[in-house]
Amino acid sequence: MSSLNVFQDDAFSLTSLTAAIQNVPYKPARISAASLYEEQGIVGLDFYIEIADGVLELIPVSQRGAPAQPAGKGARIAKSFRVAHVKQNDALLADQIMGVRAFGSETEVETMARLVGQRLATMANNIRYTLESHRLLGLKGLLVDALGNQVDLYNEFDVEKKVVPFALNSADTKVRGKCLQVLEHIEDGLGGLSFTGVEVLCGKNFWADLIDHKAVADTYLNTQQAAELRGDGRNSFEFGGLNFERYRGTSAVKVEDDEAIAFPVGVQSMFLTRYAAADWIETVNTLGQPLYAKQWEMEAGRGINLEAQASPINLNTRPGAVIRLKRGAI
């Protein structure tokens, strides 16, 4: 490393590393892949969430440490929240960096960049996995705050939570009628707004009972769509005006096994993601980016510290239009 100085080469600057981590290829989870949330960077860390006519509205504060007063009219409720902060650290020790190139090679920067890129890729995927979990919670009407707490927006703003018991344990259940109830609740939750469709993310037990339910199977019998139910049991399908699909989660990020979540699509500004800037001097008073990365030298030059971070807030502005489905009867 005698001729390689990663602290002066532009390839390892804050700007270059941040650009690199945002370009790391990854396999996104369902909600992120669907681009359901509208993303935008903001200046500052604090937000007011204001409610009017059952709609939550995100109002960014203009300056750090100086919350702005929302210009609400009439009987409105407003509360202040701070963006969540997610970060992860890693390091490259001098012993790990030794021997990354052959003597006399002129590709040391590229080789070093590849090592840094491997570490950034791992951290980027961990942060994006965390973001997926926050967005899934947002579908459920929860907001992850700066302390990592889950704030129930239904309770905070007295918004009614709608639940439809599908009673899939009974062969006599009229599943299509249950679907109609979901559509009607969504219409009520949206007021006069139109929507292009309804997606339903299902937990594994809800999904298994749904695809085997007599009412669903009989509807598809002797139709071209019958092959959908005879084929791969993981494939999504439409029934009763709803598009059902299995949400493939993990032990930490999932739709509850006996439940499903129904939500409208095609509604502008219903699901919002806002990013605040990193907590570094270089990024103060700048628009937030989805991901940041930075490196700095360890004490006595023993290696390189790496950090990746994001400061997102994910909000469902119309939680009353998201319907919770239960596998059994209430």
**pLDDT tens readout for residues 15-24:** 777 777 777 6
CA neighbor of 90 nearest in space, from 111, 116, 72: 116
Lowest mean pLDDT across 91-100, 166-175, 239-248, 311-320: 91-100
Mean pLDDT of 299-310: 86
Q: Are 143 and 272 in contact (CB under 8 A)?
A: no
pLDDT for residue 231: 56
Rounded to an integer, what distance in angstroms lies between the CA atom of residue 97 and that of residue 116?
A: 10
Q: What is the pLDDT of residues 24-67, one digit of tens each?
A: 654 557 898 888 999 999 888 888 888 877 788 877 665 544 45
Rounded to an integer, what distance in angstroms lies between the CA atom of residue 327 and that of residue 317?
A: 26
| 3 state SS of 140 | coil
Q: What is the pLDDT of residues 151-209, one digit of tens each?
A: 999 998 888 999 999 999 999 999 999 999 999 999 999 988 999 999 999 999 999 99
One-letter amino acid identity for 25?
P
pLDDT for residue 309: 94
Q: Which residue has the tokens 């604090």?
A: 46
Q: Residue 212 above 70 pLDDT?
A: yes
Mean pLDDT of 135-156: 92
Q: Residue 9 above 60 pLDDT?
A: no
CA neighbor of 257 nearest in space, from 298, 212, 210: 210
DSSP assignment of 180-219 equals: HHHHHHHHHHHTT---SEEEEEE-HHHHHHHHH-HHHHHH
Q: Are 255 and 203 in contact (CB under 8 A)?
A: yes
Burial of residue 28 (number of CB atoms within 10 Å: 0-12, 13-18, 19+)? middle
More confident residue, 310 or 33: 310
For the chain, how far is it from start to end, CA to CA, in angstroms? 67
DSSP assignment of 275-287 equals: EEPPSSGGGTTS-
- Please compute, for residue 202, the number of CA atoms within 13 A of its CA located in the half-sphere on the CB side: 22
Rounded to an integer, what distance in angstroms lies between the CA atom of residue 251 and that of residue 71?
A: 42
